[in-house]
């Protein structure tokens, strides 16, 4: 972001710090509750929807790592999500490896793509960063569209297998539990990154890049590292998404996918990490419900959510709840 301080988002961003300041038992209780919900989810929802929620949760967290903790809005994260989806699909189809290996290969591929794109994009900040990442993602989209022999073009990549040492994972219910450890690993990695000394420097860069530079931190290199890590996590999500759907379409690289990832984060709460998970659950569930009820113009709803969230709900779900809880706790202490 530019040097101007974004006063409006400041309370939303401090949401994370606020929870971190909450007493230890609250945090452990929240963690336990979160894990319990994650374990229960496919019993309460269609398992296929639950799988999508997990994938999108990783995607949202990867975007929040940049938007909330580094101050960079990537509007082209579909490039990493989609590239990994295609790579994972290709590895799974042609090499017949277990799906976690394929997903890992896809995620590393996404990180490798994030390196040159990030190198160029971190030369700009703020709104320019968004435009540059969006443009490069569109380039990746065109390449995938044109490279039909590999990606299948508009027909997509079909028949991605869910192989795992001979286990039968065709049922989405069991597949959900097969991917849950990978997703939890990705989420834990994101939490670890933001709570490490490295993550603190990122927040410092977000809040005052000039000062971070004056203190001797190589700002560009920090941003680039964050970008590559974020690309890797987005790649984990995208790879799982490909295996989950057993099919990869060009949609995974489309700019609307990038935009959706950003709005999921804003809806959940910028800079709250777990807010993105909530946002993913809400948006995926809502879209599933809309398509189930035969509503055609999903863009109207997604676009409407964009407009409403940006106008009225910039703190997001997590940020609003955290603010309420903190106010309540402060009142009780008095």
Per CB under 8 A, residues contacting another protein are 1-4, 6, 8-9, 73, 75, 120-121, 123-128, 130-132, 134-136, 138-139, 142-143, 146-147, 209-210, 213, 219, 255-256, 259, 262-263, 266, 296-300, 302-307, 310-311, 314
Closer CB to another protein, residue 83 or residue 125? 125
User: Quick one: tokens of 277?
Assistant: 């998970």
Q: Do residues 285 and 45 make contact, with C-beta atoms less than 8 angstroms apart?
A: yes
Considering the complex, what minimum distance in angstroms separates the CB of residue 78 from another protein? 12
Residue 158's alpha-carbon distances to 12, 95, 150, 179, 242, in angstroms, are: 41, 15, 11, 20, 10
φ/ψ (deg, to 5) at 157 = -100, 115
Strand partners, 157: 248
CB 157 within 8 A of CB 151: yes
Q: Compute the distance between CA of residue 182 and CA of residue 62 in angstroms, rounded to an integer.
A: 14
- For residue 97, the minimal CB distance to another protein (Å) is 29
By beta-carbon proximity to another protein, the closer residue of 36 and 127 is 127
Distance of closest approach, residue 201 Cβ to another protein, in angstroms: 15
Q: Which is nearer to another protein, 145 or 163 (CB)?
A: 145
34 vs 153, beta carbon nearer another protein: 153
Beta partners for 248?
157
Residue keyed to tokens 């609307």: 256
Q: By C-alpha distance, which of 292, 325, 326, 258 is closest to 66? A: 258
Cβ at position 73, least distance to another protein in Å: 5
CB of 39 to another protein, least distance (A): 34
The smaller minimum CB distance to another protein, of residues 23 and 294, is found at 294
């Amino acid at each position: 972001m530019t040097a101007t301080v974004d006063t409006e988002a400041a309370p939303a961003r401090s949401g994370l710090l606020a929870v971190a300041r909450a007493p230890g038992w609250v945090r452990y209780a929240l963690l336990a509750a979160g894990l319990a919900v994650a374990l229960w989810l496919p019993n309460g929802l269609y398992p296929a929807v639950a799988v999508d929620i997990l994938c999108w949760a990783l995607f949202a967290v990867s975007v929040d790592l940049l938007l909330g903790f580094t101050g960079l809005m990537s509007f082209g994260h579909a490039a990493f999500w989609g590239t990994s989806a295609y790579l994972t699909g290709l590895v799974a189809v042609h090499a017949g490896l277990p799906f976690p290996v394929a997903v890992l290969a896809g995620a590393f591929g996404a990180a490798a793509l994030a390196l040159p794109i990030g190198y160029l994009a971190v030369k700009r900040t703020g709104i320019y960063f968004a435009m540059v990442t969006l443009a490069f993602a569109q380039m990746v989209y065109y390449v995938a569209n044109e490279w039909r022999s590999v990606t299948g073009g508009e027909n997509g990549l079909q028949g991605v297998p869910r192989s795992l040492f001979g286990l039968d994972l065709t049922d989405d219910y069991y597949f959900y539990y097969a991917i849950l450890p990978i997703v939890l690993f990705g989420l834990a990695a994101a939490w670890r990154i933001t709570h490490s000394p490295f993550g603190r420097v990122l927040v410092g860069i977000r809040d005052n890049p000039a000062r971070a530079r004056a203190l001797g931190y190589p700002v560009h290199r920090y941003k680039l590292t964050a970008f590559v890590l974020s690309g890797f996590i987005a790649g984990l999500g995208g790879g799982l998404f490909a295996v989950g759907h057993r099919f990869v379409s060009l949609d995974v690289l489309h700019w609307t996918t990038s935009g959706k990832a950003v709005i999921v984060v804003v809806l959940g709460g910028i800079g709250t990490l777990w807010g993105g998970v909530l946002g993913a659950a809400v948006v995926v569930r809502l879209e599933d419900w809309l398509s189930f009820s035969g509503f055609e113009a999903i863009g109207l709803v997604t676009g409407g959510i964009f407009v409403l969230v940006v106008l009225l709900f910039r703190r997001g779900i997590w940020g609003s709840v955290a603010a309420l809880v903190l106010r309540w706790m402060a009142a009780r202490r008095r």
